[in-house]
Amino acid sequence: MTRVYYYTISHLLLFLLPCLLGHAQSDSTSQKPYKNNILPSPAFTYSPRTDFVLGVYCLYQFKFNKKDFLTRPSNFNFYYGTSFKGHVFLSTEHTLLTYQEKYFLKGIIEYKNTPEPLYGIGNQSPNEEYLNVNYSSFEFKERVLKQYEKSKFIGLKVRYIHIFDVTYQNQNNESIPPPDIAGNNGGYYPGIGPVWMLDKRNSILTPTKNYYLDLVLMGYLNSNGGTFASLEFDGRRYIDFRKDSKRVLALQVVAKNTFGSVPYNELALLGGKQIMRGYLLGRYRDKHSIQAQAEFRLNVVGRFGMTAFLGTGTVYEEVSDLQYLKAALGTGLRFNINRKDPANVRFDFAWSLTDKNNGIYITLGEAF
């Protein structure tokens, strides 16, 4: 319990820091080109295996210098969620851009206590064959990047994750021994690595034009012995058909490759609320993954919009496994809670086309 209190206090302090900085600046100037905003939002996810998760977001959008018109707004996001099945999520996430975007900082601190289904490794694990795993985890990650040319950044990422209090049950909720897979009893994994980013998006939370490329190489120590590494790529393109941000086609490709003695929770995962919506995060996992999605975003009237999206991808160990592609599609509604600096609450409904999976997501910010 002491650990949970510590995490909670840490989250609250980190959340309040930029708020205090922002309000201090507003007192020092009479001109206010940018208005800082604190915006609450509901959160909700549902899948047949994990049931309902209810929560709340609190978003703080701000600029350290409100007269800096060359810098996109920073944001700080606090989230708390819980469910009837015992899920607890507590996180603080931030994206900070200094004067004229000379430095770009992005990170998260997260505590969660969650039961979830654990399927077999690979892209052909049956829907009916899974274990229930309960665990707690604490994660810290931060990237600090410096702009060396316009829109181009380079720097380092550090990450630490600790997984503990791990137990397993069968489908009748009877306790069973841990499965014979790497990381079955948890552990802690500190990591560090270089990051290169090209970011020409016009907005962090609600991009409508240009593109984004991100490449991260991480090396980790494993508390259970050995090392492992990951290489991740994220590419995005936003096409604004009428140059008014009202009809946008968003495209994304992500890939992850892992190497070494990789714990099962650090393998490449398919699914979640960001990509391959309709699949539970981790429904499929393996050494490598590649996933792609397209989403059409339409402003209907005023603050209201709607979307339609399609995703495909798979996890794999050998290149020959790429033939087993998964697919999902969905539709969604959008509500902009900040007219001057758009931030959408999204309501997404998604279905898998190759498995009996579906998902409902109410969260803050676009999926990508």
pTM metric for this prediction = 0.86
Q: In the prediction, which pLDDT does 200 show?
A: 97
Consecutive sets of 10 residues in the chain, 368 residues long: mean pLDDT of each? 42 41 41 83 80 90 89 95 87 96 98 92 90 96 98 98 96 91 93 98 95 98 93 98 94 98 96 94 96 97 96 94 93 93 93 88 93
Q: Which two tokens stand for residue 117?
A: 């289904």
Q: In the prediction, which pLDDT does 283 show?
A: 93
Q: In the prediction, which pLDDT does 285 show?
A: 96
> What structural domains and CATH numbers belong to the chain?
2-364 (2.40.160.50)
The separation between the first and the last C-alpha atoms of the chain, rounded to the nearest angstrom, is 35
How far is residue 126's CA from residue 119's CA, in Å, rounded to a whole number? 8
**Residue indicated by tokens 């609250």:** 12
User: In this structure, how many other beta carbons lie within 10 angstroms of the beta carbon of residue 33?
Assistant: 11
Q: In the prediction, which pLDDT does 46 show?
A: 83
Cα 150 versus chain centre, distance = 26
Q: In the prediction, which pLDDT does 224 show?
A: 87
**Residue indicated by tokens 């829907």:** 127
Rg (CA), the chain: 21
How far is residue 350's CA from residue 276's CA, in Å, rounded to a whole number? 9
